[in-house]
Structure formats: structure tokens, C-alpha cells
Amino acid sequence: MTDGFLYFALIFLSAAVIVVPLAKRSGLGAILGYLLAGVIIGPFGMGLIKNPEAILHFAEFGVVMMLFLIGLELQPLTLWRLRKPILGLGGSQVALTTFLIAAGCLAMGLSWPVGLAIGLGLALSSTAIAIQLMNERNIFTTYTGQSSFSVLLFQDIAIIPILAIIPLLAVGGDVGSVQQAIEVVEEQAGGSLWEKGLMVIGLVSVIIAVGHYAMRPALRYIAQTGVREIFTATALLLVIGVTFLMKSVGLSAALGAFIAGVILADSEYRHEIEAQIEPFKALLLGLFFISVGMSMNFDILASDWMTALGALLGLLIIKFAVLFFLAKIFKFDFAQNLIFSTLLAQGGEFGFVVFQFANQVNLINADLTSLLNMVVALSMAATPLMLMFYDRVIVRRLQNAQNFDVLPEKPSIKTHSPVLIFGNGRFGQVVARLLQANKIQTTILDHDPKQIDTMRRFGWEVFYGDVMDMELLHAAGAEKAKLLVLAINDREKSVAAASLIKQKYPHLKIYARAYDRRHAYELSKVGVDYFERETFHAALNMGREVLMALGYRAYEARNLALRFAKHDRKILIESFSYFEDEKALISFAQQSREELTRIFESDRTDAELHREEGWDEDDGNKPQIGKR
């Protein structure tokens, strides 16, 4: 067994590592790379893996994780705002596409139950492909992205009734009454519909209640133990648990994971959970695409390539036309509409499920099932190619025709802040408050659950996570942020983090809280863009107040303090070249102290000179202590 697992892992990882970068380099994109890798190692390529179906089944978990992550990005309120496109756009897409495809099947001489089953299966698009492509193109947050997502979400929900209808279609014309129909469905489901319905409602309520009330304290408890891998384990357990529960009552695991995600969307652990799940998702999704590639049955293509290609073209054209028509009604502009319709024109992974099921209940025969699976897989591979065609050919035409419009950024699901603040203690908090008071969107992260809890009770949105976790930064939108305020109080960690972040996100400016001069030096060495010593300005202000208490005028005290600060910073930065050598540093420090005294001295002399030259009424008197 171990050998088997290692063998699989070796084959899959090698295929991915060799083929995907090549595909990406050559402009084909990662998805085509995975599909290609699958074809190469699959039964019709080198034959290294024999049973792609089993692996496909396992890899579908990647899709579940993807929906969980999408749920995490969606606050319940955002979801509510999307209800119109979900129901309107999604609903009419599934209905219209199903109808047209079923009609096509009838025309080709298939029976209507078979046609309807095929229509329902093919109406579903590939969430995996579409969302992956949207992420690659960075359009998930645009209007197009949101609309596409709404359609996909509706399809994910529609899979439940579709799977319920399939057995009905299997008995076809024999269903005489509603009563009979229900009996057929119940027979398939293995229980009474009432019981089933209650179970579903009960289960979803349990997920919502647990997610809402129990998950947060549980996550905080686990975060407080500080064992990072246990947090990872918890995040995984969460997704797997939900999947298991949903499957146990025959519901779509993806939908359950999505609901779980939405419930946790306003939790402070959102970014951290995201960061933990993301690598698993990405790998499993890759595995999923590989399995799709492996399951492509080229025998069918060889034996009856006319039918297969005809079906593929028919599928793409019908789906594209329906989407294009609907988008027109929903008032997309032309360029947006093209992307939207292309993104969703393929068949999807749920199609595999539907056809497999239809085959089980003897509605669709085995040959037709493999043909349909082949068509779906080909349509999935066609999508990135069509988008490439769009980019290379159509965009240019549109630009030439002068009516190409850059996609407008409409309200987004996944908002990205220009500023990330890491560490929300007594330092980061002040920065955050100043920025937020000026309506500058900031994402605040902290590693102390207690601190987060306090801040949240005061109505602040603070997320949990560790600054060394680059996945977390990625989830918090480091790619798009302009600036990161590094305000944690752990000196060594802040240097290490600054160095790591600078390597990973060179564009991201780092403004760091420094403990003292040495820390400032270390931070500068790893390339932070600005540092502020945490107590310097407080002490400087104190000095200024003391001067005033001694009788200095407020304005003079201010000027003296500012001059001191300026000189101090200049000397500090100059001294950085001596930091590795203590002797040189000490002598440099002495010199600069003397220099400072000289500067203040010469200011006074200058003032006296002015008076003698008759340009000023300054008589050079020193301020009198105790008298203002």
C-alpha cells in the first residue's frame, strides 16, 4: 500500500512538476498543463496510471476545498447582495441550456428522458476551471467575475434536484402520477422524502449553528496553544468533517463546504484558515485536472471522431449563445460579455457525476456515458484555449474598433486593502486608527488571540495569523497591497519577516516599528523602506514639554526638538556603517554628540551675528528660566 501510494505520488508530482511549468512558460497556462500531464501519464498516454476514475473521485475533494475557500471570501451580506444574479442569471442559464441541449438530443433521435438528463448534465459548467482561470486573470473581483461566480453557485445548488430527477427520468414514461414519482425517488434515496428533507434541513442548521457559535471559541482555544500544525489539522478537519456529513445524507459536499466557508467568513481566523487550506486545495485541484486529463477516452475520439467533435462544438456553441444572450439582458458590455460567456461555456465536473449516476440507473448506456465524459473533458480543455484566442485575436480587433472598454471594477467579493498592518498592539493600533479615521481601507492582522478578542469587542476587524506565514499574507492580499506596517513587538521575528516579505513581495513597501537603534539598523539592512523607533517620538515630545516647563517658548522648544530629531536620524543612518564594529561605533557616537552641541551652539552664534548686522532685533539673551 505504501509502495502504491509512493508510486502514485511519484508519478503525479513528476508529471506536474515537468509539464505544468512548460505549459505555463509556453503561454498555455497551468490548467492546460495539468490536463496535458494527465493525458501523458494516463491509460491513453504512457499508461502509468490505470484507474483514473478512482483518483478523479479523490481529487474532487479539491473542488470542495475551493468552494470552502470561496465561501470564506463571501460575507453572508455579500451573498445576499448576489441573490439576483444567482437566481436570475444562474436559474435561466441552467433552464435555457438544458432545454436547448435536450431539444438537440431529441432531434438526433434520442428519447426525451435521455435528452433531458444530458441537457441537465451539460448545463453545469466547471467551477474548477472557471474560477481557476478567473484567479489567473485576476478578474474574480470584477463584475464579470461575480456574475460568473453567481452562475456557478446556482449550478452547485441545482445539482441536488438534478440528482433527484435522474432516477425519475430512468423510469421515463412509466411515471403515471406524482405519487409514483416520489416513490421512485425515495427508492433511490433509500428513505422517505420527508425524512430526507428534514435531515437535510437539520444538518444545514447544525453546520450553521456549530460554525457560528462553537467554531470561534474552538479556533481561539487551538490558536492559543500555539501549535501551528494543529491549527492546520483543525482547518482540514473542518472541511473534511463538513464533506463527510453532507455526503452521508447524499448532499453536495461542495455546497456544504461553501456554507461552512460563508459562516466562517466574518471570523478573525478567516485569513489563517485560508492560508492553511490553500496549498492542499491547490494540489488537489491540480490532481483533479490531471485526472480529468487521464480520463479522456481517446478510443471514442478515434472510433467516432465526427460525433465527438460535433457534440463538443454543439455544446460550446449552445452554452456560449445562451450565456451571451443572458448577459446581454443583464446589460454587460460587449467585452465583459465575451469573457463571461467563454468562461462558462464548458461542461463541468458535476457533469461527470450526473452521467455516472444516469449510467448507474440505466438511463444512459456505457458508450454514451464515455462519449459525454469525453466531450465534457474536451470542453474543459477548450476553455483556456478559447480565452487565449480571445486575448490574442478578439481583444485586438475590439481595440481597433475603438469600442473596447477596460473592465470596470464593480463592488467586489474579495476586497483588497492598500495597507496591511501586522501587529495590533499599542503601536500598530495608533497607525490603524489614523488610517481608518481617514477611510483608508486597512487589513489588520495579529498573532495574539486575546488581543484580537479585545479589539473585536470594540468593533475592530482583526484577523489571526503569524507574520512569517507567507500564505497568510497572500490570502490577506499582499500582491495588491501597497504598504505593510510591520508593528509586531518581537524584534528578531520582525527582522526575519521583513527580509522574507521583501523577497516574496518586492513591490510591497515595509514600514517597520523598530525597538531601538540596533533594531533599526537590522531592519534597514534587510531593506525596510521606513522605520520608526517606538519610543523616540514620545521621548522627544517629553523633552519638548520639559523645555517648555523650564520657560522655553513653545515655538522654540518645537524647533529645538525638530532639529534634534533631524540630526539624530541623520546620525543614526550614518552610523549604520559602523554597527558591526563596536569600537568605531563608540567613537562615532562621541563625535556625533559633539557635533550636535556644535550645531546648537552655532545656531546661537548666528543669531547674535544677525543682531550685529542690524537685521534682527535679537539681542542674544538666553531664555530666562521660570519666566515665559
Partner 1 sequence: MSGTVLIIYAHPAHQTSRVNRRMMETARDLEGVTVRDLYELYPDFHIKVKIEQALIEKHTHIVFQHPFFWYSCPSLLKEYIDLTLSYGWAYGPQGTALNGKTLLSAITTGGGADAYKRTGHNFYTVNELLQPFDQTARLCGMTYLEPFILNGSLQVNDQAIDAHCNRYRQKIIDLRNGDIGEVYQR
| Residue 260 CA, distance from chain mean position | 16
Cβ 592 vs Cβ 575: under 8 Å:
yes
537 or 611: CB nearest partner 1: 611
438 or 621: CB nearest partner 1: 621
250 is a contact residue toward partner 1 (CB under 8 A): no
532 or 556: CB nearest partner 1: 556
5 or 555: CB nearest partner 1: 555
- Listed in sequence order, the residues at least 6 apart from 180 whose beta carbon sits closer than 8 Å to its beta carbon are 174
Tell me if residue 533 falls in helix, strand or coil: strand
Binds partner 1 by CB under 8 A, chosen from 316, 374, 557, 585: 557
- Listed in sequence order, the residues at least 6 apart from 117 whose beta carbon sits closer than 8 Å to its beta carbon are 166, 169, 354, 355, 358, 363, 364
d(CA 297, CA 10): 23
304 or 618: CB nearest partner 1: 618
Q: To the nearest whole angstrom, how small is the minimum distance from the Cβ of residue 615 to partner 1?
A: 6
Tell me if residue 478 falls in helix, strand or coil: coil
554 is a contact residue toward partner 1 (CB under 8 A): yes
| Cα atoms in the Cβ-side hemisphere of radius 13 Å centred on 102 | 18
Neighbours of 204 (CB within 10 A): 17
527 or 620: CB nearest partner 1: 620
Q: To the nearest whole angstrom, how small is the minimum distance from the Cβ of residue 435 to partner 1?
A: 20
77 or 430: CB nearest partner 1: 430
Enumerate the H helices of 26-111 as residue ranges. 30-41, 52-73, 76-81, 83-84, 91-107
537 is a contact residue toward partner 1 (CB under 8 A): no
457 or 627: CB nearest partner 1: 627
Q: To the nearest whole angstrom, how small is the minimum distance from the Cβ of residue 614 to partner 1?
A: 5
Q: Give the dihedral sign, CA 358/362/363/366.
A: positive
443 — phi, psi (to 5°)? -110, 120
Considering only residues 476 through 535, tell me which ones interact with partner 1, judged by CB under 8 A. Answer: none
463 is a contact residue toward partner 1 (CB under 8 A): no
405 or 601: CB nearest partner 1: 601
| Cα atoms in the Cβ-side hemisphere of radius 13 Å centred on 336 | 22
458 or 615: CB nearest partner 1: 615
Q: Give the dihedral sign, CA 422/427/430/431.
A: negative
Q: To the nearest whole angstrom, how small is the minimum distance from the Cβ of residue 583 to partner 1?
A: 41
547 is a contact residue toward partner 1 (CB under 8 A): no
Considering only residues 374 through 413, tell me which ones interact with partner 1, judged by CB under 8 A. Answer: none
Window 412-431: contact mask with partner 1 (x via CB under 8 A): --------------------
The residue assigned the cell 517597520 is 512
Considering only residues 582 through 621, tell me which ones interact with partner 1, judged by CB under 8 A. Answer: 607, 611, 614-621
Considering only residues 222 through 241, tell me which ones interact with partner 1, judged by CB under 8 A. Answer: none
d(CA 381, CA 348): 11
Which amino acid belongs to residue 463?
F
Q: With CA atoms as reference, report the closest residue to 335 among 414, 391, 412.
A: 391
Cβ 119 vs Cβ 107: under 8 Å:
no
The residue assigned the cell 453536495 is 252
Say how many Å lie between the first and final Cα of the chain, rounded.
88
2 is a contact residue toward partner 1 (CB under 8 A): no
Q: Which stretch binds partner 1 (CB under 8 A): 111-119, 464-472, 497-505, 546-554?
A: 546-554
Q: To the nearest whole angstrom, how small is the minimum distance from the Cβ of residue 604 to partner 1?
A: 10
Binds partner 1 by CB under 8 A, chosen from 250, 314, 425, 623: 623
- The grid cell for 487 is 508593528
186 or 618: CB nearest partner 1: 618
d(CA 51, CA 6): 16
Binds partner 1 by CB under 8 A, chosen from 493, 558, 567, 569: 558
Binds partner 1 by CB under 8 A, chosen from 397, 458, 555, 583: 555
542 is a contact residue toward partner 1 (CB under 8 A): no
Q: With CA atoms as reference, report the closest residue to 166 among 315, 410, 356.
A: 356
Q: Please return the burial class of 4, using the count of CB atoms within 10 Å of its CB with bins 0-12, 13-18 and 19+.
A: exposed
d(CA 239, CA 235): 7
d(CA 154, CA 150): 6
545 is a contact residue toward partner 1 (CB under 8 A): no
* Number of chain positions touching partner 1 (CB under 8 A): 19
Q: To the nearest whole angstrom, how small is the minimum distance from the Cβ of residue 600 to partner 1?
A: 15
Q: Which stretch binds partner 1 (CB under 8 A): 72-80, 206-214, 553-561, 564-572?
A: 553-561
Q: Nearest-5° angle of CA 15, CA 21, CA 25?
A: 145
332 is a contact residue toward partner 1 (CB under 8 A): no
Q: To the nearest whole angstrom, how small is the minimum distance from the Cβ of residue 611 to partner 1?
A: 7
Binds partner 1 by CB under 8 A, chosen from 552, 572, 575, 585: 552
Give the H or E element holding residue 325: helix 305-329
Q: To the nearest whole angstrom, how small is the minimum distance from the Cβ of residue 603 to partner 1?
A: 12
438 is a contact residue toward partner 1 (CB under 8 A): no
Q: To the nearest whole angstrom, how small is the minimum distance from the Cβ of residue 612 to partner 1?
A: 10
Binds partner 1 by CB under 8 A, chosen from 304, 529, 556, 568: 556
Binds partner 1 by CB under 8 A, chosen from 553, 566, 570, 598: 553
Strands (E), 140-260: none
Beta-bridge mates of residue 444: 421, 462
Kindly list the residues in this chain that would bind partner 1 in the complex (CB under 8 A): 552-558, 607, 611, 614-621, 623, 628
